[in-house]
Amino acid sequence: MPDVVETIAGLRSQLRLARVDAVSGGLGRPRVALVPTMGALHDGHLALVERAKERAEIVVVSIFVNPLQFGPSEDLALYPRTVESDVERLAAHGVQIVFAPTVGEIYPGGDLQTKITAGDIGSLYEGRSRRGHFDGVLTVVAKLLNIVRPDTVVFGEKDAQQVFLVKRMIADLNVDVDVAAVTTVREDDGLALSSRNRFLDPKQRRAARSLSIALEAASSSADRGIDSVIAAAQSVLTGDSTIELDYLAVVDPTTFLPVDDGAHGRALVLIAARVGETRLIDNVTVYLA
Ligand code: PAF
């Protein structure tokens, strides 16, 4: 079983021990990879763990439902908390250290005086619907990077805007860490794995498939340009009253700004929709002709 530590001091001492073990086992200076999560782990998270294991000898998985990235009307209280089964799954994947701090450990004294702001891109798409969300994400990621000091940090491509903003923060603040982004893991019918999928009832679960179908339609229309991409995705989504589209955007992956009409080359199609009470996001890379 992994060592489950709740305090920053405990985490640092476990890391020291793991480093000493690695050196005395003849491994030289071991690399450390961090997989930040909010728990409720699924196979998508385990794919991040597998990537972390390729990159490092010591893998730390953090499990922390970060209040700072939830708005007042969001599902913080309802967010699934399944630490025991999460730890079992991580044990089966050979994770050595799980960092599962309390809110008080990460935010002693409540609110922070100093926070990271995600800038203009942080208030588009997800950030427009979830004000302050990315400030909260970047602040906790910065704290976790400072606590763990990993060589590599691993994220999932499903949260494409999060990956973009984390990379920007790391570049802007000269943080010495590599970022690895792992391809989205999907159910057999295409639905991207998400901790929130468990909230879907059977009818909503069937409807949720439309997100990935819309993205497939967008991708197959890319050789006809951006208008066709949007029309193809919209036609899938508007056919289903269970789905309330939040945004559909085609962005340049290097800037995360919307692509211009007539743009060519690689682009990212982002989608967010509410299926009942559950908000889902997904994305696909397309090649505009
Ligand atoms: O992607 C998530 O689960 C969260 O946003 C993260 C990166 C763990 C920060 O709380």
Contact 161, 270 (CB under 8 A): yes
Q: Which residue has the tokens 């193809």?
A: 232
Q: How far is CA 143 from CA 82, 98, 161, 187, in A?
A: 23, 16, 19, 32
Alpha-carbon distance of 207 to 67, in angstroms, equals: 29
- Pair 49, 143 in one domain: yes
Does residue 49 sit within a domain? yes
- Enter the tokens of residue 53: 């294991």
Residue 240 near ligand 1, beta carbon < 6 Å: no
Does residue 105 sit within a domain? yes
- Enter the tokens of residue 226: 């951006």
Alpha-carbon distance of 251 to 16, in angstroms, equals: 42
Residue 275's contacts (CB-CB under 8 Å, 6 or more residues apart) are 200, 204, 207, 208, 242, 243, 244
Alpha-carbon distance of 73 to 85, in angstroms, equals: 28
User: Of 182, 209, 229, at which residue does a domain stop?
Assistant: 182
Residue 38 near ligand 1, beta carbon < 6 Å: yes
- Tell me what the pLDDT averaged over the chain comes to: 96
- Pair 202, 145 in one domain: no
Phi-psi region of 152 (alpha: psi -120 to 50; beta: other; left: phi over 0): beta
Does residue 289 sit within a domain? no
User: Of 124, 148, 182, at which residue does a domain stop?
Assistant: 182
- Pair 74, 207 in one domain: no
Average pLDDT for residues 39-48, to the nearest whole number?
98
Answer yes or no: is pLDDT of 239 > 80: no
**45 in active site:** yes
Answer yes or no: is pLDDT of 18 > 80: yes
Residue 127: what pLDDT?
A: 97
Angle at 48 between CA 37 and CA 104, to 5 degrees: 15
- Pair 152, 211 in one domain: no
Residue 28: what pLDDT?
A: 85
Q: How does DSSP classify residue 186? A: B
The CATH number for 120's domain is: 3.40.50.620
Does residue 135 sit within a domain? yes
Phi-psi region of 260 (alpha: psi -120 to 50; beta: other; left: phi over 0): beta
- Enter the tokens of residue 158: 């499903």
CA nearest ligand 1 atom 5, residue: 137
Answer yes or no: is pLDDT of 183 > 80: yes
- Pair 127, 268 in one domain: no
Question: Checking DSSP bridges between strand 265-275 and strand 278-288, what pairing results, if any?
Answer: antiparallel
Does residue 187 sit within a domain? no
Does residue 52 sit within a domain? yes
Pocket test for ligand 1, best of 162, 194, 195, 197 (most atoms within 8 A of CB): 162
Alpha-carbon distance of 157 to 159, in angstroms, equals: 5
Quote the ligand 1 centre to 37 CA distance (angstroms): 5
Alpha-carbon distance of 207 to 261, in angstroms, equals: 30
- Pair 80, 21 in one domain: yes
pTM of full prediction above 0.85 = yes
C-alpha 39, offset from chain centre: 11
Phi, psi of 241 (to 5 degrees): -75, -15
Residue 69 near ligand 1, beta carbon < 6 Å: yes
Q: How far is CA 217 from CA 213, 245, 284, in A?
A: 6, 16, 10
Contact 192, 158 (CB under 8 A): yes
The CATH number for 239's domain is: 3.30.1300.10
Pocket test for ligand 1, best of 34, 37, 63, 280 (most atoms within 8 A of CB): 37
- Pair 147, 269 in one domain: no
Alpha-carbon distance of 236 to 227, in angstroms, equals: 15
pLDDT band for position 30 (cuts 50, 70, 90): very high
- Pair 31, 54 in one domain: yes
What is the number of structural domains in the chain?
A: 2
245 sits in which H/E element: strand 243-251
- Pair 27, 157 in one domain: yes
Residue 117: what pLDDT?
A: 98
Does residue 172 sit within a domain? yes
Contact 38, 63 (CB under 8 A): yes
Residue 180's contacts (CB-CB under 8 Å, 6 or more residues apart) are 33, 51, 52, 55, 152, 153, 154, 155
User: Of 149, 182, 215, at which residue does a domain stop?
Assistant: 182
Average pLDDT for residues 33-39, to the nearest whole number?
98
- Pair 53, 113 in one domain: yes
Residue 195 near ligand 1, beta carbon < 6 Å: no
Average pLDDT for residues 267-275, to the nearest whole number?
97
Pocket test for ligand 1, best of 130, 141, 144 (most atoms within 8 A of CB): 141
Domain that holds residue 246: 195-280
- Pair 135, 232 in one domain: no
